[in-house]
Chain A
Amino acid sequence: MSLITPDTTMTVEEAVEQLRGEDLSQRYYAAWYLGYLEDPRAVEALVAALADESDRTEMGGYPLRRKAAESLGRIGEARAVPGLIEMLGCEDYYVREAAAWSLARIGDALAVEPLVALLGQGGSQPYEAIIEALGDLRVHRAVSLIEPFLQERSERVRYAAARSLFQLTGDVALIDMLLGGLASADSHIRRAALFDLADTGYLPAAAKIVHADVTATLKLLALKQLADVQSGDEPAAAVLPFIDSIL
């Protein structure tokens, strides 16, 4: 396995230039890199990339749009919201998924109606991302819309529903459901449940995260997430001893 060391010497201006260029792989790399830099000066160029028609897969996907949507979420500027809302209607499932994820990160109330509409639209949708966005945006009237997803066949969707419903209702029985996921034999499910648990902000989950059967790196990220979602510094500080126990 060789190390892929990204070129991280480009300035924001150079990367924006590259994003607007001709070479598709260079444009894609620039879209990733601008998300990595999290620099608000890239928002305009990334929003423009959401309308890209040139980078299409054989299956009809839009890789550049996906990456641009994701990077806009990382940057977190409200200026990206209208463009991302438009992408909730994109024919590419993964563009819709990235848009929902990014709208949750940006946290603008403008996204609520379009996300609720997408959840009820039916068909093949990125339900996990939509449900998580509605939880993060604290859309209390979405509770009855999300509840049926606790019965979904997909475990990941079930855990996303439990996570968001806990955010909206505080029902501790939902935590037990996530702890069940943390004990799954499937490492991907354990990982999804781990971060869903962290996103709930339920502090007693810290001890469960420390003892989960996942790598130390994932535990650290999940504990940091648990601290980050606390509304005050005092509860966030309660997570530090758990982080220290892993170092």
Chain B
Amino acid sequence: MSTTEKMAVERALAEFDRVGAPAALLTIVRTLATSADPRAADPLLRALTFNDAAFHDIAIEGLTAIGEPAVEPLLASLDGMDYGARYRALRALVAIGDPRARPAYEYWLGADIIPGVRCICVKGLARFPDTEALLLKALEDKVWVVRYYAIQMLCERGLTPQTRAALATLAADPERVVRLKLAQVFARADAPV
């Protein structure tokens, strides 16, 4: 980071708490998000909770850029967030890819009422080699998109005889897109190389 960039971050950190106007705040959050400075983690976490979608992707990218130092603050904030902010915090955690987030994925996959949160947890869990049982459990989710996502993730890991048998139970899934996805996955797995 150049000296000029450092000064810009210092100024943005100081201004974050003072500025009320959304447009000015958006500029500040952008500066913080591109800084990759660990001190920006807290303001960016707060930006995840703003009731204004313009901030969200910027904050996620900023937290992802901070990486490892943002993991603990992100994990500590999950319980207190509304589900929308939790979804965004989990997306940042998945993008960072730190193994400490695993218990959070496992917990919120079972606990959150919003399918989007459960989907992102499936994605997070799929990165770990020993999470097959959890992904198979996600195939039983009430909401189609979670089942669909779990099929996709299991497929990307390569089908085993166990996963194949579990997936086959979705052949009578009530949602056509899920059945079609399953047929596609099996057709690809069985296609001659």
Q: Given the complex of chains A and B, what is the CA–CA distance between A239 and B178 in angstroms?
A: 12
Q: Is the CB of A5 within 8 A of B152?
A: no
Q: Given the complex of chains A and B, what is the CA–CA distance between A5 and B114 in angstroms?
A: 10
CB of A1 within 8 A of chain B? yes
Q: Which residues of B contact A5 (CB under 8 A)?
A: 113
In the complex, identify which listed stretch (A26-34, A84-92, A102-110, A220-228) lies at the interface while the others stay far away: A220-228
Contact digits for A231-247, partner B, Cβ 8 Å, 1 yes 0 no: 00100110110011001
CB of B186 within 8 A of chain A? no
Q: Is the CB of B116 within 8 A of A240?
A: no
CB of A177 within 8 A of chain B? no
Residue in contact with A247 in the complex, picked from B53, B83, B119, B183, CB distance below 8 Å: B119
Q: Which residues of B contact A228 (CB under 8 A)?
A: 176-177
Residue of A nearest to B56 (CB): A215
CB of A216 within 8 A of chain B? yes
CB of A59 within 8 A of chain B? no
A236 in contact with B176 given A220-B145, A224-B144 (CB within 8 Å):
yes
Say whether chain A's binding surface is mostly helix, strand, loop, or mixed. Answer: helix
A215 in contact with B53 given A5-B113, A240-B184, A247-B149 (CB within 8 Å):
yes
A216 in contact with B177 given A224-B144, A247-B152 (CB within 8 Å):
no
Residue in contact with B177 in the complex, picked from A1, A3, A224, CB distance below 8 Å: A224
Number of interface residues of A (CB under 8 A): 19
Q: Given the complex of chains A and B, what is the CA–CA distance between A239 and B180 in angstroms?
A: 10
B147 to chain A, nearest CB (A): 12
Residue in contact with B152 in the complex, picked from A216, A227, A236, A244, CB distance below 8 Å: A244
Q: Is the CB of A227 within 8 A of B177?
A: yes
Q: Is the CB of B116 within 8 A of A236?
A: no
Q: Which residues of B contact A217 (CB under 8 A)?
A: 115-116
Number of interface residues of B (CB under 8 A): 20
Q: Is the CB of A236 within 8 A of B119?
A: no
Residue of B nearest to A228 (CB): B176
Q: Is the CB of B83 within 8 A of A3?
A: yes
Q: Is the CB of A237 within 8 A of B184?
A: yes
Q: Which residues of A contact B184 (CB under 8 A)?
A: 237, 240
Q: Which of A47-92 contact B (CB under 8 A)?
A: none
Contact digits for B174-193, partner A, Cβ 8 Å, 1 yes 0 no: 01110011011000000000
A117 to chain B, nearest CB (A): 34
CB of B148 within 8 A of chain A? yes
A72 to chain B, nearest CB (A): 19
Q: Which residues of A contact B181 (CB under 8 A)?
A: 240, 243
Q: Which of A125-169 contact B (CB under 8 A)?
A: none
Q: Is the CB of A237 within 8 A of B116?
A: no
Q: Which residues of B contact A227 (CB under 8 A)?
A: 176-177, 180
Residue of A nearest to B91 (CB): A216
Q: Is the CB of A239 within 8 A of B177?
A: yes
CB of B82 within 8 A of chain A? yes
Residue of A nearest to B85 (CB): A1
Q: Is the CB of A236 within 8 A of B149?
A: no
Q: Which residues of B contact A239 (CB under 8 A)?
A: 177
Q: Given the complex of chains A and B, what is the CA–CA distance between A244 and B176 in angstroms?
A: 15
A6 to chain B, nearest CB (A): 8
Q: Is the CB of B113 within 8 A of A236?
A: no
Q: Is the CB of B144 within 8 A of A236?
A: no
Q: Which residues of A contact B145 (CB under 8 A)?
A: 220, 224
Q: Which residues of A contact B (CB under 8 A)?
A: 1, 3, 5-6, 215-217, 220, 224, 227-228, 233, 236-237, 239-240, 243-244, 247
Give 8 closest A-B pairs by Cβ, nearest first: A1-B82, A237-B180, A227-B177, A217-B116, A224-B177, A220-B145, A247-B149, A236-B176
**Can you list 25 contacts pairing A with B, beta carbon distance less than 8 Å?**
A1-B82, A3-B82, A3-B113, A6-B113, A220-B145, A224-B144, A224-B145, A224-B175, A227-B180, A228-B176, A228-B177, A233-B176, A233-B180, A236-B176, A236-B177, A237-B180, A240-B177, A240-B180, A240-B181, A240-B184, A243-B181, A244-B152, A247-B119, A247-B148, A247-B149
